[in-house]
Structure 1
Amino acid sequence: MGKRDDLIAKYADDLKTKCGMTPDMDLLTKVTIGCGPAIYNADASTVAGSDKSELETVKKNFLEKKLGLKDGPELDAAIDAVIETYGKSERNKFRAVIYYMLTKHFGKESIYA
């Protein structure tokens, strides 16, 4: 197994243990690949759930650009819900896991088909 496979296994474990979800491994793999080299950078691979500018970046770069959603209060509500599910006290919130949960939340799996 390569480094990416190890990370995907770690993300799947977070989804199971911390978020109470059974991950769709195919989708999780595609979302992880979609994150690009950021998954290998300690800072870029995580999302600071309490950092407003970081959450704004998730909204602009992922929800609006990647998933093609229109800006509105439902985007902020979805990000808040995902952070809540992951656990506000959870220090390492992996970007790929957050993106996976947002993709599922909005039913945008077809973007990764």
Structure 2
Amino acid sequence: MAEDWALDVKKYSANADQNAINGIVRYCGISLQKRDSSLVSLSDREEVARVRESFLKKKLGLAEPDADLDRAIMAVGEKMKGDRTKNRVTLYYLLAEHFGKLSMFGDPNSATGTG
């Protein structure tokens, strides 16, 4: 699946960090190979929980209450409301930006795993 992840991210963050985008793409790995898994459905409670648990808590190491993390996910979703489809890379980038964690993805050796 050929996708210009940076182009989508830059719709929401004009000065997006290309190294951070590349790091998030590496982190997401195989989940970006299929259209369905490359998108996030914020109307699906299980999907929101997966983003919260796997990305925000495990990857970013956040310890805020679930309700606060869910509000952040929904706030980013609101920012992206103009797009019917929500790209996983863009959502993760905006969440990492929101929490000041983009630097975690700048080093090509630090962003391993699957999202």
- Give the TM-score normalised by structure 1: 0.82
Q: Which runs of 5+ in 2 are unaligned?
A: 108-115
Name 2:90's counterpart in structure 1: 97
Q: 1:65 to 1:11 in 2, by over 3 A?
A: same
Pick one of 5, 8, 19 that aligns with 1:14. Answer: 8
Flag the structure with more relative contact order, 1 or 2, with Cα contacts below 8 A and sequence separation at least 6: 2
Per-residue deviation at 1:21?
3.1
Deviations 1:40-74 (A, max 9, x none): 11111000121111111000010011111114122
CA RMSD of aligned residues (A): 1.7
Residue 34 (str. 1) matches residue 27 (str. 2):
yes
- What is the aligned partner in structure 1 of residue 39 from structure 2? 46
Q: Give the number of aligned pairs.
A: 105
Shift of 1:76: 1.0
Match of 1:76 in 2: 70
Moved >4 Å (runs of 4+): none
Match of 1:86 in 2: 80
Percentage identity across aligned positions? Answer: 36
